């Protein structure tokens, strides 16, 4: 299996044309995901469907081309940039749901803490109990 | 622009006029991103503070300082957020590169997913119900661990309030990164695969951003947790809310 790390790019910078070519492929997979969502009325976003299609495609073809690796690395490194605008809403939303905030904040905070602990413990225990998931060589 | 105003008056209304083009929102977002990077490094990258929080706080401060309408900012920023689609697809690359790790953990993941993703919904719903939350509030809290694009689709079906759903998603994402930080220390869990999966399953894209700061493997497991939770919850909630 070929493993080229996306996160640490070898020569430090990726040529723009290569990134653009990879970006085109990512956008095409996104459009494929959107098409699947709209044609088959799946309640899952085009991005997630595109992610799954791309992963399957890479598994079938058995390697990541340099353009796709560079474009993917570039986008993942600015993921925070794409999430920030939505997150600012927290600062402007308060006051819209007066009276429900106790229930909302307590249930979110306590519920999230419990489910984080559940996930960590469950997967950690199962990973030890079932050391090798695949019966083949590991 | 109104020519009957003085230069000074035109200057004062400039930010509102520029807000009509998405460029102002895009410039502000990128500026806040770099400013937050500096601030985050300057305060020594504290583990209790996910870097998206100072980034969003600086951005919100800029919006408030310029006196912009948050809605008009968001309209402009939507142009930037279009990239979230291909960026989500891009997560397939680290996922594929870590496929051997995932194969090795296939059964633990297959068993953990339905249990943990259901409990992520149920814990919060039961607590909210006990505290007297209204049906709309419950429907807005239920998809809290699902990545935004999928959560909005679920919200449509089960009758969520969109602003409250978005707030629940964001609070959950940020708080997940904190909880994972604290819980892994208490429980002495160091397996990056487990930490990554917990970040993605509970904290969707915000958790995944944090996971990529840990390592590419944690990021891959977080992407996997985020995708599978999105799929599973999209199937679970419409059924649950029909009962």
- How far apart are alpha carbons B99 and B213 in whole angstroms? 19
* pTM attached to this predicted model: 0.82
Q: Which among B70, B232, B167 is positioned nearest to A107, based on CA atoms?
A: B167
The pLDDT value recorded for residue A138 is 37
Tokens of B185: 């220390």
Report pLDDT digits (tens) over A26-61. Answer: 999 999 999 998 999 887 888 989 999 999 999 999
- How far apart are alpha carbons A56 and A53 in whole angstroms? 5
**Chain A partners of B55 at a C-beta cutoff of 8 Å?**
80, 84, 87
- With cut-offs at 50, 70 and 90, classify the pLDDT of residue A1: very low
Tokens of B147: 């990545």
ipTM of the complex as predicted: 0.84
**How many angstroms separate the CA of residue A13 from the nearest CA in chain B?**
18
Q: Which of B90, B111, B120 sits opposite A115 (nearest CB)?
A: B120
The pLDDT value recorded for residue A101 is 81
Tokens of B151: 């959560």
CA B13-B17-B23 angle, 5° bins: 130
Radius of gyration of chain B, Cα coordinates, nearest whole angstrom: 20
pLDDT at residue A6 is higher than 60 = no
Token pair 């796709």 in the structure block, residue:
A68
Asked if A68 is an interface residue toward chain B (Cβ–Cβ < 8 A), one would say: yes
**Chain A partners of B106 at a C-beta cutoff of 8 Å?**
133-134
Asked if A71 is an interface residue toward chain B (Cβ–Cβ < 8 A), one would say: yes
CA atoms within 13 A on the CB side of A25: 23
Q: What is the pLDDT along chain B (243 residues), one digit of tens a residue?
A: 556 778 888 888 877 777 778 899 999 999 999 999 999 999 988 877 778 888 999 999 999 998 888 888 988 998 998 998 999 999 999 989 988 888 999 999 999 999 999 999 999 999 999 998 889 899 999 999 998 878 888 888 888 888 788 889 989 999 999 999 999 999 999 999 999 999 999 999 999 999 999 999 999 999 999 999 998 998 899 889 877
């Amino acid at each position: 299996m070929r493993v080229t790390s996306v996160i640490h790019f070898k020569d430090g910078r990726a040529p723009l044309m290569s990134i653009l070519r990879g970006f085109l492929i990512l956008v095409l997979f996104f459009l494929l995901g959107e098409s699947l969502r709209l044609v088959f009325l799946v309640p899952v976003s085009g991005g997630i469907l595109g992610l799954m299609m791309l992963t399957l495609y890479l598994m079938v073809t058995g390697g990541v081309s340099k353009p796709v690796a560079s474009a993917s690395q570039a986008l993942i490194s600015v993921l925070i940039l794409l999430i920030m605008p939505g997150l600012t809403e927290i600062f402007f939303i308060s006051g819209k749901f007066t009276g429900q905030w106790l229930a909302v904040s307590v249930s979110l905070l306590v519920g999230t803490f419990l489910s984080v602990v559940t996930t960590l413990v469950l997967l950690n225990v199962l990973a030890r109990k079932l050391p090798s998931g695949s019966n083949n060589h590991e | 622009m109104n020519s009957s105003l003085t230069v000074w008056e035109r200057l004062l209304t400039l930010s509102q006029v520029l807000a009509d083009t998405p460029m102002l929102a895009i410039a502000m977002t990128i500026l806040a991103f770099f400013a937050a990077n500096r601030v985050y490094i300057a305060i020594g990258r504290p583990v209790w503070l996910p870097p998206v929080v100072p980034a969003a706080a600086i951005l919100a401060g800029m919006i408030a300082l310029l006196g912009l309408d948050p809605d008009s900012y968001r309209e402009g920023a939507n142009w930037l957020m279009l990239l979230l689609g291909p960026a989500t697809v891009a997560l397939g690359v680290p996922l594929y590169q870590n496929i051997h790790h995932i194969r090795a953990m296939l059964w633990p993941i297959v068993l953990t997913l339905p249990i943990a993703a259901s409990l992520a919904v149920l814990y919060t719903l039961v607590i909210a119900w006990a505290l007297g939350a209204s049906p709309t509030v419950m429907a807005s809290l239920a998809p809290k661990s699902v990545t935004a694009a999928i959560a909005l689709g679920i919200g449509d079906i089960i009758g969520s309030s969109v602003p409250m759903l978005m707030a629940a998603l964001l609070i959950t994402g940020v708080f997940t990164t904190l909880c994972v930080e604290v819980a892994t220390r208490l429980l002495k869990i160091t397996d990056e695969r487990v930490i990554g999966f917990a970040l993605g399953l509970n904290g969707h894209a915000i958790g995944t951003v944090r996971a990529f700061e840990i390592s590419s493997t944690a990021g891959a497991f977080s992407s996997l947790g985020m995708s599978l939770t999105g799929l599973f919850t999209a199937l679970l909630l419409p059924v649950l809310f029909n009962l």
